[in-house]
Amino acid sequence: MRATKPLNRRGEEENWLPDKLASLQQRLKPIYNGIVASLRTCLQADQASLDEMSGGL
């Protein structure tokens, strides 16, 4: 018995994986960008406070 791929309504093999991945990527991108932006802000604030503590050496 051979494994079959999912069929769509027309009985054609459905290529659903790329669609699912594209959808997932679209949903995760804003979350990822938000995390990166937060990290950048934190790192910049830490660097600024380190500069103040070191007296701008």
What residues are paired with 7 via a beta bridge? 13
Residue 43 within a domain: yes
Q: Are 33 and 25 in contact (CB under 8 A)?
A: no
Residue 37 within a domain: yes
pTM over 0.75: no
The residue written with tokens 């701008």 in the block is: 56
Residue 18 within a domain: no
Residue 50 within a domain: yes
Residue 17 within a domain: no
Domains contained in the chain, number: 1
Q: What's the pLDDT tens digit per position in 21-34? A: 999 999 999 999 99
Residue 4 within a domain: no
Q: State which residues form the domain around 53.
A: 25-57
Mean pLDDT over 33-42 rounds to: 95
